[in-house]
Amino acid sequence: AQSVTQPDIHITVSEGASLELRCNYSYGATPYLFWYVQSPGQGLQLLLKYFSGDTLVQGIKGFEAEFKRSQSSFNLRKPSVHWSDAAEYFCAVGGEGGSEKLVFGKGTKLTVNP
Amino acid sequence: DVKVTQSSRYLVKRTGEKVFLECVQDMDHENMFWYRQDPGLGLRLIYFSYDVKMKEKGDIPEGYSVSREKKERFSLILESASTNQTSMYLCASKENYGYTFGSGTRLTVV
């Protein structure tokens, strides 16, 4: 069964610092990987996704993620964090097939200090 | 732009009530999903549907049922609401590998 682990429940960084959020997945076939962001009281917004091809994926808001098959990881990065990036971040894995469900990690809450 | 609309943003219901959460998509997608979101637990799949009148249980279907009479509408039903069903409920639809989420319904059962 597919699963996603986000090892960090809560991360605090200073504004302007770099950020890396970790995500490890378990999936028996070719994974389709996603990062979503959720601001307080808001719905989920897709940051980026990986299906195939270049393992470094660029997303919105200056985020990127790197797929490493050997490590079963899909870590999210940003070189310089802004105060508006404070939110909760969810990694998710899906698969081939039209009805394939999306399985989420438990989320990482990001706090940004001024 | 694609759109998934959940009819209520906030709902307060009493224990034992039958509750309907509605979700409508305007993209002609075949696949629709209901998730529940709780702090520290992330999003957990309740039910999904891959076609009209077709449904499959997700990871936590107990206490819930669903209805999909038309392609664009997927309803989540709490037959007899209980306080442990107080949560944020998110609907999503999917085509190929694009998932679109609604804004969510925050349900409180008192």
Q: Does domain B4-96 have CATH number 2.60.40.10?
A: yes
Whole-number pLDDT of residue B94: 86
Assign A96 a pLDDT band (cuts: 50, 70, 90).
low
The full length of chain A comes to: 114
Averaged over A24-37, what is the pLDDT?
Answer: 89
Distance CA B86, CA B94 (A): 26
Assign A53 a pLDDT band (cuts: 50, 70, 90).
confident
Task: Kindly list the structural domains of chain A, giving each domain's residue range(s) and its CATH number in brackets, ordered by start.
Answer: 3-113 (2.60.40.10)
- The reply to whether residue B97 touches residue A44, judged by beta carbons under 8 angstroms, is no
Task: Please state the three-class secondary structure of chain A as a single string.
Answer: CCEEECCCCEEEEECCCCEEECCEEECCCCCEEEEEEECCCCCCEEEEEECCCCCEEECHHHCEEEEEHHHCEEEEEECCCCHHHCEEEEEEEECCCCCCCCEECCCEEEEEEC
Q: Which residue has the higher pLDDT, A100 or A59?
A: A59
When mean pLDDT is compared over A19-28, A101-110, B80-89, B92-101, the highest value belongs to B80-89
Whole-number pLDDT of residue A113: 95
Q: Confirm if B75 and B55 have CB atoms less than 8 A apart.
A: no
Assign B96 a pLDDT band (cuts: 50, 70, 90).
confident
Q: Is A38 left (phi over 0), alpha (psi -120 to 50) or beta?
A: beta
Residues of A in contact with B43 (CB under 8 A): 90, 92, 104
Whole-number pLDDT of residue A99: 54
- The reply to whether residue B42 touches residue A99, judged by beta carbons under 8 angstroms, is no
Residues of B in contact with A27 (CB under 8 A): none
Residues of B in contact with A101 (CB under 8 A): 33, 45, 48, 58
Residues of A in contact with B74 (CB under 8 A): none
Whole-number pLDDT of residue A97: 57
Give the tens place of pLDDT for each residue, B14-73. Answer: 999 999 999 999 988 889 999 999 988 999 999 999 899 899 999 999 999 999 999 999
Whole-number pLDDT of residue B15: 98
Averaged over A4-31, what is the pLDDT?
Answer: 93
Distance CA B49, CA B34 (A): 9
Q: How far is B63 from chain A (nearest CA, A)?
A: 20
Q: What does the mean pLDDT of chain A come to?
A: 91
Partner residue facing B43 (CB), from A42, A90, A94: A90
